[in-house]
Chain A
Amino acid sequence: MTHLTTRCGAISIFGAMLAVLGTLIGEYEVIAIGVAIIIYILLTFIPRPKIRVVRETEATKAFEGDETDVYVKVENTGIFPAIIHVYDVISPYMRLISGTNRYLVYLRQREKLEFVYRVECPLRGHYVFGPLMIRRRDRAFLYFDDEKIEKYTYFTVYPHIHELHRVPIKTRFIVPYYGTITTKTAGMGSEFLYIREYIVGDPFKIINWKASMRLRRWMVNQYEKESLCNVLIILDAREITGKGTPLFNPLEFSVKATASLSYHLLRTRNQVGLVTYGSEVKAIFENISPHQFDIILNALVGTYASGNMPMITAIDTILPHILPRSTIVFISPLEDDITIYSCVRMLRDRGHEVIILSPSLVDIEATLYDKNTDKLSMLHLERQNKINELRGLGALVIDWDVKKPLSYVLNLVVEEWMR
């Protein structure tokens, strides 16, 4: 739709007033000036040009922090030349690194404009480049006509995956295959468990020579059996988890942790599932298929902070489908949900190991606020109570200071166990 600028409005009303005034006072010169102004404004109006747009991106997928080039071609396929303002809409969650996504250009018939710009994608998610906005205007900027060309390019940014070496997961559920998860059971593995006396059939390579010499009988090292386990990751994606900045909030840290844990566990041949809850419950149950990580990663890309569903609702929904004795990894800032305690109690009663990884919203807000207040001290005390309460219910709670990397935090827990 063609709009008039304020300038056009002022000039045209001035022209009309002159014409009317001239008619009233009978001065033909005044009428002529008024009519001339109106005719000029009418002549300046030119029809909307026909524009064809082609947009291409360097890739259609990227990981957080990657950069990509966007190529845009704009062609005037109409019969009229036009002064156009081109603006390619970019998501506000992307950074424009180089080049520009807007141009003011005069295009003759069949003339093309080609431009390229580079964007950085610091946040995971599904993105759309476009629509392409075209603003036609005349030289005097009396008219403008905004046209939205519905040309979209879809782009996916996956969460960054941290390399993990050890995860603090233990299982009592014996799977008849070797894995990397310690089971507190003697067997073939790499983690030392205890020393025992040699029995017939033990391989010579596990004889502990020092202990044998000291005790004057044959002693062997017994290693801990390393097995496989089923892990269900429950991700809290309520609205509150999105507090902070788009990049620095509990949900983003939770998503990165989920992706990294899933990747590590699936690589070491464990079954991994994912449940997210917020405005609704979405579940991908435990599986070890080759595509499981892709499925989980795609689900994580489309996870946004929304809703205020309590955890108990999510657990009630998925409980019948959880594999017996599987390990539950619950990733949540533990805010504004009193049903967490009953959920942990219920899961523990059913024989599940419960590991809670909690990125601290209080720490995130304190970092962003950059000023220590008494309220923050009080909130820290409150959070500590929650963690202690959950630990009292038998869950392993990892209080994640998000300024430290996930692998570092997980290593600390494993080392604490080993001590």
Chain B
Amino acid sequence: MLRISADKRRFSFALIGVFLIAVIAIMPFISKREMHLSAYSDSWNDLSEFRKNLELKGYKIKCITSTPLSLREYNGDYNKTLLCIIGVERPYTNDEIASIINFVDRGGSLIVADDFGFGNRLIKVFGVEFSRCRLWSPNFIKNPSFPVINVTYEGIHYEVMMNEPSTLSGVSEKEILVETDSNCWLDANKNGKRDLDELSDIYPIVASTHYGEGEIIIISDPGIFINDCWNIKDNSFFVMALVKSLVPSESTIIFDESIHVHKMPNHNFVQVMFFVLCNLMLYPAGKVVLLGAAIVLIAPYMRKIKRPVIWFHRDILTHATYHHLKIPELKDEDVLRMKHIAEEKVRLALVLSKDEFANIDESILKSVVGDDLLYDFITNWEKYSVEDLPKIIKKMDEWVKR
């Protein structure tokens, strides 16, 4: 068995520990994932313009940073509250979905805008889904990634520039708020180009539905909210019109910031660790990794658990080991052994050498032995079994003592 000294073992554990800490610490920095769609950041792909406009219009802004579970404790006027979920970058847990639904059920309004993120899990509850296929249009600005859609909403015409949008599926006619014109097509096989079977059609991109006492608007492109697109075409007007249709001015708008991956707090190692830990706990795979890490950390600890040996002096002076009586019963091999013993007894009684005894006349042998059973045993020992041995041994004993 391979034996590793205690020092080497300790060194190995230390090495593994340092390696794990290093990997956890470095992992966030080497991550290439971009953070965006935050209402409180001013980057081109964040939502600060949208938030500021809402504030200008007299809306009160709040945000959820930890988890939507906190909606359970919301004690404001549900009818004057709008929850904005724009760009779902992580899957909601069942409890979180239940909290959001409960919020809507009690009269809260909801805007969900997503395209290729994790929003489907939430909106499936309302019977709608994001198709997760790219919408293309011959009408675009700069490049085909930015299709321009002509929208008529509440009798007003808007030109909305979208940003790599998707479409909605499972929407009934009466739920559709906005749909594309008939020149658009969907990249169904996601190969990035138009195929023969990808025909032009009309696709829903904004839908509205009701759940309980609340109303929900689902938009298949969060890009129309971002700072870079805010002032292009009629985006801002269209978005504000949507908001206004749901909640009046001076209502409360809640941004769910918990769905976004935040900027790395790289100035403090503890913060980084806490951040990594929190992010890991948000994903099922992350929880498995955490569990594995916990087991790896606990394993050396568990190895240190030992049952103390009970110290007690006990002498072994009466412990017996046997040579002959290891198996006290007679065995099959003992038949041959007994035959040799009997032969030897007779030979020694006749004071013959082994060679002389081997050539002895049978009649002399028979007369010397003087016992039919013993003579038969010496000459035909093969036919005797171990069961016959006690009888033979007794006879031999008597023969010696005669």
Contact = CB atoms under 8 A, between A and B. Distances in A.
Given A13-B298, A378-B338, A385-B344, A365 B325 contact: yes
A122 B6 CA distance: 39
A39 interface: no
A409 to B, nearest CB: 21
Interface residues of B, number: 44
Given A375-B334, A381-B341, A388-B348, A246 B306 contact: no
Nearest to B69: A26
B318 interface: yes
Contacts of B314: 92
Nearest to A96: B313
> Which residue among A6, A85, A133, A381 has the maximum number of chain B CB atoms within 10 Å of its CB?
A381
Contacts of B316: 92-93, 246
A247 B281 CA distance: 68
Contacts of B396: 381
B397 interface: yes
A369 B345 CA distance: 26
B389 A244 contact: no
A399 interface: no
A4 interface: yes
B313 A385 contact: no
A375 B330 contact: yes
A3 B329 contact: no
A157 B358 CA distance: 52
A379 interface: yes
Contacts of B325: 365-366, 369, 373, 375-376
Given A96-B313, A245-B320, A385-B348, A369 B328 contact: yes
B320 to A, nearest CB: 5
A246 B345 contact: no
A132 to B, nearest CB: 11
Interface string B289-329: 00000000010011011111101111111111111110011
A359 to B, nearest CB: 13
A256 interface: no
Interface in A338-394: 361-362, 365-366, 368-369, 371, 373-379, 381-382, 384-385, 388-389, 392
A365 B324 contact: yes
Nearest to B319: A245
A70 to B, nearest CB: 12
A5 B322 contact: no
Contacts of A1: 6
> Which residue among A5, A90, A93, A375 has the maximum number of chain B CB atoms within 10 Å of its CB?
A375
A362 B322 CA distance: 10
A307 to B, nearest CB: 15
B323 to A, nearest CB: 4
Contacts of B394: 377
Given A3-B305, A92-B314, A93-B316, A392 B321 contact: no
Contact of A8 (B305, B323, B337): B305
B22 interface: no
Interface in A144-171: 144, 146
B359 to A, nearest CB: 19
B316 to A, nearest CB: 4
Contacts of B312: 102
Contact of A377 (B306, B317, B320, B397): B397
Contacts of B305: 3-6, 8-9
Contacts of A381: 341, 345, 393, 396-397, 400
A376 B322 CA distance: 13
Interface string A8-26: 1100110000000000100
B308 A144 contact: yes
Given A5-B305, A6-B305, A374 B319 contact: no
A94 B324 contact: no
A101 interface: yes
A248 B318 CA distance: 9
B317 A378 contact: no
Contacts of A389: 344, 348
B351 interface: yes
A375 B317 contact: no
A361 B397 CA distance: 19
A90 B313 contact: yes
Nearest to A6: B305
B79 to A, nearest CB: 29
Interface string A240-254: 101111111000000
A2 B10 CA distance: 13
B324 A385 contact: no
Given A101-B313, A362-B324, A385-B348, A378 B334 contact: yes
A135 interface: yes
A373 B329 contact: yes
A335 B351 CA distance: 23
A123 B318 CA distance: 12
> Which residue among A122, A240, A366, A379 has the maximum number of chain B CB atoms within 10 Å of its CB?
A379
Interface in B375-402: 389-390, 393-394, 396-397, 400
A126 interface: no
Contacts of B311: 85, 87, 102, 133, 135
12 contacts: A5-B305, A5-B306, A5-B307, A92-B313, A92-B316, A245-B320, A246-B316, A365-B323, A365-B325, A378-B337, A378-B341, A381-B345
Interface of A: 1-6, 8-9, 12-13, 24, 85, 87, 90, 92-96, 101-102, 122-123, 133, 135, 144, 146, 240, 242-248, 335, 361-362, 365-366, 368-369, 371, 373-379, 381-382, 384-385, 388-389, 392
Given A2-B304, A247-B317, A389-B344, 20 more contacts: A1-B6, A5-B305, A12-B301, A92-B317, A245-B320, A361-B323, A361-B324, A366-B325, A368-B320, A373-B325, A374-B390, A375-B334, A378-B334, A379-B324, A381-B396, A382-B341, A384-B345, A384-B400, A385-B341, A385-B345
